[in-house]
Structure 1
Amino acid sequence: MSPRHLVALLGGGFSTDEDGLLDDWLLGHARTSRPKVCFLPTASGDAPGYAEKFLGAFRDRPDCEPSVLHLFDRKLDDVALRAFVLAQDVVYVGGGNTANLLAVWRVHGLDRLLREAHDRGTLLCGISAGANCWARGSHTDSFGPLTHLPDGLGLLPGSVCPHYDSEPGRRHSYRSAVATGALPAGWALDDGTGALFTDGRLTETVARVPGASVYRVVGDGAGGADERALPWRVLPRGRGDAGRRR
């Protein structure tokens, strides 16, 4: 049987939340009970503090084996890099600048390796820029003002918008981009939510707290855009019971 192609978009996780609920939910969808989880801090310029925060949150967990892949001070040759990436069960991408992330990945050939890992069943995921990168297009502040970036990896159809409820102007700007066709129809995530895609199809949406939502945003054909909050479940409180479903 061929492996499932999994992508998870996160509106939170270790970098913003103290309860670990979204990370628990995420690891529950990995292909093994103790997955190898690699963090990519590329979008932040490999900020040391960001990598250390990831390791601080994951190194003492009994349910995973964490590591960090740096590209700005790369140590691995092409053969070793490919072997390392393909050995991971989960690739977790941090936030920062989406456009810079994509450019650096392409220079190092990491975009091709992530596609190969995706085809082999590695769960790809991330927050903010780390959610944007997987879709065909995204809504970003990579260039200063909020704008559209129709230049993602395309592992998910459509577009993605993070921080839908928390950053001023996000909702209006993203809806406008979809309405004009600058971005294809897509998904917008409030902070504190998660969305799992299986073989390119949305299969689960969750929230840390009631009221946070994932939205489907589509053009209405008349110069506007419609948004629809998708059904979701609230993750149960308490680490280790956040929905490990295979």
Structure 2
Amino acid sequence: MALTRRQFIAAGGAAGVLLSTPLAAGPIATGVELVSGIRAIALGNNQRLQVNDHGRQALWQRSGNTLNLTSSASYDTRIVAAALDGDNVVLLDRGQRQLRWFRPDGSLARLVELNNLLEPADFVLSGEHAIVADVHGHRLVSLNLYTGIQHRLESDHPLNGPASLAKTGDRISLLTLGDRRLHHFSLAGHSLGSEVSSLNMPSVIAAVNDQLLVMDRCQKQLCWADRSTPLLTLPQTSAQQLAHLSWQPGSNLLISV
């Protein structure tokens, strides 16, 4: 189920998808799902989160069941990211500025307020910390989930609109929208430097088998971070727009359009 650079990504016959990768050797490691009208977030372990209604409804799909985690969500609820933490799922609510943990039965296990952040846009879990990108606060914060202590992670360049995070085996990467820059940090939070993306309008990043995959919203394509040759491209004439990208081991690559 591992997706590597030397394996061919197949789009499962989805209409209008052009695969421009010339590599055809080796077995197909995973499928690609184009998911229309929702934000699909891969959680791993054959689980995913389906986010509808502009982030106000989050459906946790696991073990053949679907749990509605936001059945009485308020109007300002906006779920934008999720991750598994053991058996629980963690949701980031951008509108209410909260991290919420839910048990497998759908009950709320824990809630962490992020009131000091202006607009949390994405997060990753790393050990006992949650790393949270604050897009309008122009900062990346490491939150100790046991002590509640927060500290800012500093890069070699100012963080101009930090919006999307991805964790690989040995680092955490951040995409800042204002300057199309990819910032890299060690798992301990130390800066490993940054570089400007070669893509026209990078909007989302995802870690795929410890490689960084970048979505270019303007060009409707996916590229590895260190290459400008597209791995997957939608026709420019297509009405579909790439909206989100998500992958976890054992899942398909989920592309929301």
TMscore range, shorter length: 0.3 to 0.5
TM-score, with structure 1 as normaliser: 0.34
Relative contact order (alpha carbons < 8 A, sep ≥ 6): 1 or 2 greater?
1
Per residue, is there more strand in 1 or in 2?
2
Scaled by the length of structure 2, the TM-score of the pair is 0.33
